[in-house]
């Protein structure tokens, strides 16, 4: 499982383990955030049930519920501290290790690699991609997986209480997820195009920095700035399109979720009228229904963020897959003659530059 997580999210072994810890504590935090709903449920069960059942009596007073509220807040605080340390702190440690390992990887790559890549591309990979991975893995990915697991646990628990109202509450969830998943290919294409356009802007700026003397000497400032403006306008236009598409997908799926509460109202009223469920149970599901969709909304937002991250992860995997130079790290020559002994070399496959060449260039 750790190897699959490492491969999917381009993490180190320690990063994968920390990621699992972050998911674990985020699941518990999502469950703990349901404690206020549990608190309301216990209070209503104790104080309002006698209204519907005259034989029932109030079992606990205000002091009991005051202490219970403090206990619930203490539990939520402790879990939130562990969740913060296992996600944000560990993610930034992994980000530092990723940057160091990426720089070490670049140090070992052959010169031919740097002939194929320009400086802006490498700068974007080291700085921009790492920053995006850092932000998403601290704010989105652990929360996404944890929300899915916590929603599953909450759904199972509520189904044991009343399966019909649970079904009325959660039937919209798979439909909302399907809207996001079905738009994945289009979102990925938009993100890829937007990424390439952004890199063109970076390359244009880098080109200006590298050739500023030539640009000013030949009075090409206007031509250079016009070209830069065109690339920026192209990037902004594509960014607007991708943001609009993502907004339509996410907000559309979240709008579908709102139908769940309406279905609970309709189904619950029908069940109460037919005597198949109690009015108290109906009220409890109404209270929970106003809170239960919050982690689901987070799932939809984070799922879209994960699609945005795929392009960065692919680039990071591409960099890690590059073959490094091999040979001895230390060199102690006996003199400084340069000797070629049956040397063959090519920059590209099928285009041989040297073929079985042998000679000696004497020192001096």
From the CB of residue 159, how many other CB atoms can be counted at a distance below 10 Å? 15
Domain ranges of the chain: 2-321
> What pLDDT, in 10s, does the model give residues 119-139?
666 666 566 777 777 766 666
- pLDDT of 75 reads 92
> What pLDDT, in 10s, does the model give residues 282-311?
877 877 777 777 777 777 777 777 777 777
Give 337-344's long-range contacts (Cβ < 8 A, gap of 24+).
337/361, 337/362, 337/363
Helix (H) or strand (E) holding 229: helix 221-273
- pLDDT of 77 reads 93
CATH of domain 2-321: 1.20.1560.10
Backbone φ and ψ for 337, nearest 5 degrees, come out as -70, 145
Helix (H) or strand (E) holding 352: strand 351-361
- pLDDT of 361 reads 92
- pLDDT of 226 reads 92
Are residues 263 and 171 in contact, defined by beta-carbon separation less than 8 angstroms?
Answer: yes
The alpha helices in 211-220, defined as continuous H runs, are 212-217
**What whole-number distance in Å separates Cα of residue 39 and Cα of residue 239?**
44
Question: Can you list the residues of the chain whose pLDDT is less than 70?
Answer: 1-2, 5-10, 49, 51-53, 56, 116-127, 135-140
Length of the chain counted residue by residue: 364
**What whole-number distance in Å separates Cα of residue 134 and Cα of residue 89?**
11
Q: Which of 193, 16, 192 is nearest to 90 (CA)?
A: 16
**What whole-number distance in Å separates Cα of residue 248 and Cα of residue 250?**
6
What is the residue-averaged pLDDT of the chain?
81
Angle made by CA atoms 27, 30, 36, in degrees to the nearest 5: 145
The structure's pTM equals 0.61
Angle made by CA atoms 177, 179, 184, in degrees to the nearest 5: 95
């Amino acid at each position: 499982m750790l190897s699959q997580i490492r491969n999917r999210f381009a993490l180190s072994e320690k990063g994968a383990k920390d990621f699992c810890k972050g998911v674990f504590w985020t699941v518990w935090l999502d469950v703990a955030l349901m404690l206020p709903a549990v608190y309301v449920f216990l209070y209503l069960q104790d104080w309002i049930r006698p209204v519907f059942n005259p034989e029932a009596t109030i079992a606990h007073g205000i002091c009991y519920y005051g202490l219970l509220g403090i206990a619930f807040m203490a539990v939520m605080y402790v879990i939130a501290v562990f969740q913060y340390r296992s996600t944000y702190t560990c993610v930034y440690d992994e980000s530092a290790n990723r940057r160091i390992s990426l720089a070490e990887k670049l140090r070992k790559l052959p010169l031919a690699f740097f002939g194929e890549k320009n400086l802006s591309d490498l700068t974007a990979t080291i700085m921009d991609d790492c920053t995006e991975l850092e932000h998403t893995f601290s704010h989105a990915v652990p929360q996404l997986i944890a929300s899915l697991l916590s929603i599953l646990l909450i759904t199972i628990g509520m189904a044991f209480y009343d399966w019909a109202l649970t079904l009325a509450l959660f039937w919209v969830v798979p439909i909302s997820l399907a809207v996001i998943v079905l738009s994945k290919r289009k979102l990925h294409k938009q993100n890829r195009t937007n990424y390439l356009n952004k890199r063109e802007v970076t390359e244009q700026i880098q080109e200006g920095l590298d050739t500023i003397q030539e640009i000013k000497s030949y009075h090409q400032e206007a031509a250079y700035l016009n070209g830069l403006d065109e690339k920026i306008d192209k990037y902004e236009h594509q960014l607007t399109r991708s943001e609009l598409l993502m907004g339509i997908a996410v907000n559309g799926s979240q709008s579908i979720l709102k139908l769940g509460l309406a279905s609970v109202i309709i189904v619950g009223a029908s069940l109460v009228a037919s005597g198949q469920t109690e009015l108290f149970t109906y009220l409890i599901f109404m209270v929970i229904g106003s809170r239960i969709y919050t982690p689901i909304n987070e799932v939809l937002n984070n799922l879209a963020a994960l699609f945005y991250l795929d392009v960065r992860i692919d680039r990071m995997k591409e960099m890690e897959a590059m073959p490094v130079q091999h040979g001895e790290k230390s060199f102690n020559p006996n003199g400084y003659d340069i000797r070629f002994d049956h040397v063959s070399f090519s920059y590209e496959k099928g285009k041989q530059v040297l073929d079985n060449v042998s000679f000696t260039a004497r020192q001096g």
